[in-house]
Structure 1
Amino acid sequence: MSTDSILFGAAAIPEPDREWLAAAERLPISSIWQGGHLLPPTHTGEAVTRLALMTAWTERVRIGTAVLLLPLYQPVMVAKQLADLDSRSGGRVSVGIGVGGEFQHEFEAVGVPMRERGARTDEAMAILRALWRGDPVDHEGRFFRFENLRLRPVQPPGASGPAMRPGGPPLIVSGRKEPAMRRAARLGDGWLPYLISPSAYARSVQTIHTEAAAAGRDLTGFEWMMYLYCSVRADGDRARADVAGFLGGAYGDKPASMLDKIAPSGTPEQVAARLQEYVDAGVRHFVISPAAHEDTLGIVRLAAEEVLPRLKLPATPLAGTIR
């Protein structure tokens, strides 16, 4: 994917909604994302179910999971689900992947030890890619074993063959710690961290490049993304109150200065200045996640129409990307 421009996506907060998605598609955004837990503590959806809704209720934008907790899923089953959704959407699906760990009971419920979640994710990613190539697959791994399996994505009505992209959807690795960075460098098609500062993002870029070089991997076409909680309002004080109310409690009522490092808020001019720091650190595709309990579409609209045009690419291209 070319990185000669800066792209905006949006998180469908709080839940995918047909009218919200239709309005968002009319904005100058490139993607819409939503994740989900298996057993969340609130009445919120699961990642593949939400992805299916977004597939049905959008026409233009790229749609993705942010994130799918891959170690909780049987990889052959989820490979088929994602392949079918990519085919039915005309090749618009992307798969943001995380290892989870916030809710231990989810792992206990599906019989997956938390200590194995990283290794299971790595093996599952390899299985997804193998099955998406379309040839018969034999696999003998630590966690999964099968012989002569061939995945056939659903054929959309009127199509002469499956519309899934060759090789399947891109796998975008999420996280904040070095194991996730190493996974992105070795196995991922992109990097989608969250709740990190611009300086931390710059360090992650360097770590990924170092790990990729050690593995002999060329990162041309790698996607440098950022899942960014933020609030943009004409009233900057209201935007800052949004973030404090949405994220503050989760971080022990940290001061506003701490929240501003990881979740920008304010007027379009103020937020653009903060996002420019991320661009300078290497971000090329922001997923704007409205950190607010109301009028989330208003935040996405201001971000797309008044923040995005203010951002500028650095004069020096990001190493390992296409120009």
Structure 2
Amino acid sequence: MGDIAIGVGLGQFHDGLPEPEELFRYVERADELGIDSIWLPDHVISERPELDTTVLMSVIAARTRDIKMGPSVLTLPARNPVAVANTYANLDYLTGGRGRVIMAVGLGADPRLCDVLGISSAQRPERLREAIELMRRLWTEDSVDYDGEHYQLNGVTVTPKPAQGTLDIWIGGNSDAALKRVARYGDGWFPALMSPQEFNTKLDRLMAFCDEVGREVERDEAGVILPSYVARDPDRAREIKARVLERRGLVGSSSKFEECSAFGTPVDCVETIQKYVDAGCTKFVLMPAGPPSERIGQLELYSREVLPELSSSTS
């Protein structure tokens, strides 16, 4: 089994936006602590405050040295793939071309983003496939011709190109249709709100789909997104979890959420994440809940009291 890698989210500001300097310090501290990666939700249409994914990735590129970064996940059918390929190639250049930029894409959690741009929701799967094909070619070829149903190019390229060739493209989603997309043209799988047993079952299903189409996706190129809040005070963790459940309308029916999140003391969170490790998962994104003012403290606890315990338990 590969090493355990823990990334963190930056977004979902239900309790209000952090001040810019507080946000900058969060990304800097994550880098200093050796957190594997930062992932940024793509919620252009949202009832809560959100910051643009690409703008935030530019901030991370300017403020950090080693941490990886990516969207979780980018609603690619709503974007022009030439512009996206150029933007992320630029980010690769600005981060030193050391593999710090990862693409994670999907149909998008909110179909309205496509609707407001005049794109039919029914077109999203094929637009996603064509866009991924196009981006890989734009990152590796000097003159791209493409005649698809939704995109047509004649002699187009982007420069600079990613230093190490095409960026890895992970595909989000929990459904069989999403797994088949990963099998056919993804480099990794990025589900959310999935129990350890579901993860194990669907990872096996993904491997079977890969066999069917004759492609290989490594078993450890899969990571799960877990809502999380860790605190030494269990009462504080319960308070934050209750607030999250209320926002999600899950009060009184929280068993599913309990299986798919990591709230509690550091020991509680280690136990939760260990269940995923036992199910074959080695990559995690802990999406922090709670006020922005507490999120740097979350990073400290993840780094010092959660990740080391997971590493020792799998050695």
Report the TM-score when normalising by structure 1: 0.87
Counterpart residue number, 2:114 = 107
Deviation at 1:306, TM superposition (A): 0.8
Q: Say if 2:67 is the partner of 1:69.
A: no
Determine which of 97, 104, 128 is the counterpart of 2:105: 97
- Aligned ranges 1:173-252 → 2 under 5 Å: 173-220=171-218, 223-252=221-250
d(CA) in 2 for partners of 1:206, 1:33: 25
Contact 1:230 1:265 in 2 (8 A): yes
Q: What secondary structure, in the 3-state scheme, does the structure 1 residue paired with 2:247 have?
A: helix
Change (3 A) 1:95 1:180: same
Counterpart residue number, 2:31 = 25
Cα RMSD, aligned residues only: 2.1
Question: What do the CA deviations read for 1:35-76 (whole angstroms, capped 9, x no partner)?
Answer: 222332333122222222222222111111112111110111
Question: What do the CA deviations read for 1:260-310 (whole angstroms, capped 9, x no partner)?
Answer: 111121111111111011111121111111122341222222122111122
Contact 1:99 1:117 in 2 (8 A): yes
d(CA) in 2 for partners of 1:253, 1:178: 29
What stretches of structure 1 of length at least 5 have no aligned partner? 154-161, 317-323
Contact 2:10 2:41 in 1 (8 A): no
Change (3 A) 1:210 1:89: same
Q: What secondary structure, in the 3-state scheme, does the structure 1 residue paired with 2:50 have?
A: coil
Deviation at 1:32, TM superposition (A): 1.1
d(CA) in 2 for partners of 1:145, 1:42: 36
Contact 1:231 1:240 in 2 (8 A): no
Contact 1:83 1:168 in 2 (8 A): no
d(CA) in 1 for partners of 2:121, 2:33: 40
Deviation at 1:225, TM superposition (A): 1.0
d(CA) in 1 for partners of 2:304, 2:137: 40
Q: Say if 2:304 is the partner of 1:305.
A: yes
d(CA) in 2 for partners of 1:193, 1:258: 15
Which residue identity lines up with residue 310 of structure 1 in the other structure?
Answer: E
Contact 2:103 2:167 in 1 (8 A): yes
d(CA) in 2 for partners of 1:117, 1:144: 13
Contact 1:69 1:100 in 2 (8 A): yes
What stretches of structure 2 of length at least 5 have no aligned partner? none
Which residue identity lines up with residue 166 of structure 1 in the other structure?
Answer: Q
Which residue identity lines up with residue 54 of structure 2 in the other structure?
Answer: V
Which residue identity lines up with residue 145 of structure 1 in the other structure?
Answer: Q
Q: What secondary structure, in the 3-state scheme, does the structure 1 residue paired with 2:102 have?
A: strand
Deviation at 1:258, TM superposition (A): 3.1
Contact 1:76 1:128 in 2 (8 A): yes
Q: Percent identity?
A: 30
Contact 2:85 2:135 in 1 (8 A): yes
Contact 2:73 2:108 in 1 (8 A): no
Counterpart residue number, 2:132 = 125
Contact 1:8 1:287 in 2 (8 A): yes
Deviation at 1:113, TM superposition (A): 0.8
Contact 2:229 2:264 in 1 (8 A): yes
Deviation at 1:206, TM superposition (A): 0.9
Per mean C-alpha deviation after superposition, the further-off stretch among 221-230 and 58-67 is 221-230
d(CA) in 2 for partners of 1:174, 1:240: 29
Change (3 A) 1:189 1:165: farther
d(CA) in 1 for partners of 2:198, 2:219: 22
Counterpart residue number, 2:274 = 276
Q: What secondary structure, in the 3-state scheme, does the structure 1 residue paired with 2:189 have?
A: strand
Change (3 A) 1:248 1:199: farther
Q: Say if 2:153 is the partner of 1:146.
A: yes
Contact 1:35 1:67 in 2 (8 A): yes
Deviation at 1:184, TM superposition (A): 1.5
d(CA) in 1 for partners of 2:69, 2:109: 24
Change (3 A) 1:23 1:101: closer
Change (3 A) 1:23 1:314: closer
Contact 2:203 2:219 in 1 (8 A): no
Question: What do the CA deviations read for 1:122-172 (whole angstroms, capped 9, x no partner)?
Answer: 11111111111133111111110111112211xxxxxxxx6x233232111
